[in-house]
Amino acid sequence: MSTTFGATSTTDEVLDGIDLTGKRALVTGVSAGLGVETARALAAHGAKVVGTVRDLAKGRAATAGIPGIALVEMDLASLASIRKATDALNAKGEKFDLVINNAGVMACPRGTTADGFETQFGTNHLGHFVFANRIAGLIEDGGRLVSLSSSGHRFADVDLNDPNFETTPYSEFVAYGRAKTANALFAVEFDRRHKARGVRAVAVHPGGIMTELGRHLTAEMRQAMLDNIARSRPAGAPAYEWKSVPQGAATSVWAGAVAKAEEVGGKYCEDCHVAAFIDGGDDGQMRGVRRFALDADNAKALWAKSEEMVGERF
């Protein structure tokens, strides 16, 4: 695995010299931010890209500069919408070499999806859980699935006894942490189930980026996050820096199209490398992965609970 890339690497730097001609990629959430940049970078290096969007008009405007991109309407907060979209994809039968579960919501006020799931867990995890599993047969043998997690996973492990906060007091960041842990655990179990045919799954943390994902964060919430990071930073360590969008999307394309499958399959990656486990305090940069987010038994239990919640077995 290359050690050339790091936190400041961009999508084009990571893909420099990579020819994706003949490859097909599917990216969820291509109407803004990381999704648009991920799709742009893959297409720029020859891949045929299909993107999912909740709002087709917004998606068309956002991807107008990406040659050849095809859009599929899909709302991850609605199982009916997901099933309609995946039925259409399966009917076409076109295969994918890479699927990137990129879309998501962050730290939103308490709410529920169309099916009554807590918004963040329902959209970020359950929506992608149903989506990816229903099109798993379209992933080419030897293909790859990338699941966008976050350093925010460290806020909370999944709670399989109360996933919808029915008895637990709701907290925006606890809910986000649960959902992002679920995104990592999904990659672990998807990888285990599909690696016999060469399909590998990997979770990634893109880094801290100012995108539409943070639309629900107030100025006070953003400052509190930065203050917390600053307090945990060792003396002499550099100050935390936000990434640009091309830097934020770099780990997704690195893990999906550049890194060796056997080195990233079932792992959690950040800054274009496999992350180390973190058992103690933060280093001021929110690096590393908690063990509960890659625990195989935790991943299997989440999978079973997710099937129960959505009423579909995979």
- Find out whether 24 and 96 touch, Cβ atoms under 8 Å: yes
Q: Which residues of 91-127 are buried (b: 16+ CB within 10 A; e: fewer)?
A: eeeeebbbbbbbbbbbbbeeeebebebbbbbbbbbbb
Return d(Cα 85, Cα 172) in angstroms, integer.
29
Question: Which residue is associated with the tokens 């690696």?
Answer: 195
- Residues in the chain, overall count: 314
Q: What are phi and psi of 150, to 5 degrees?
A: -170, 155
Return d(Cα 29, Cα 114) in angstroms, integer.
18
Long-range contacts of 111-115 (CB under 8 A, 24+ apart): 112/164, 113/77, 113/78, 114/75, 114/77, 114/78, 114/79, 114/80, 114/81, 115/78, 115/79, 115/310
Residues marked active site are found at 149, 176, 180
- Find out whether 147 and 303 touch, Cβ atoms under 8 Å: no
User: Of 231, 275, 28, 305, which is closest to residue 146 (Cα–Cα)?
Assistant: 28
- Find out whether 123 and 104 touch, Cβ atoms under 8 Å: yes
- Find out whether 177 and 153 touch, Cβ atoms under 8 Å: yes
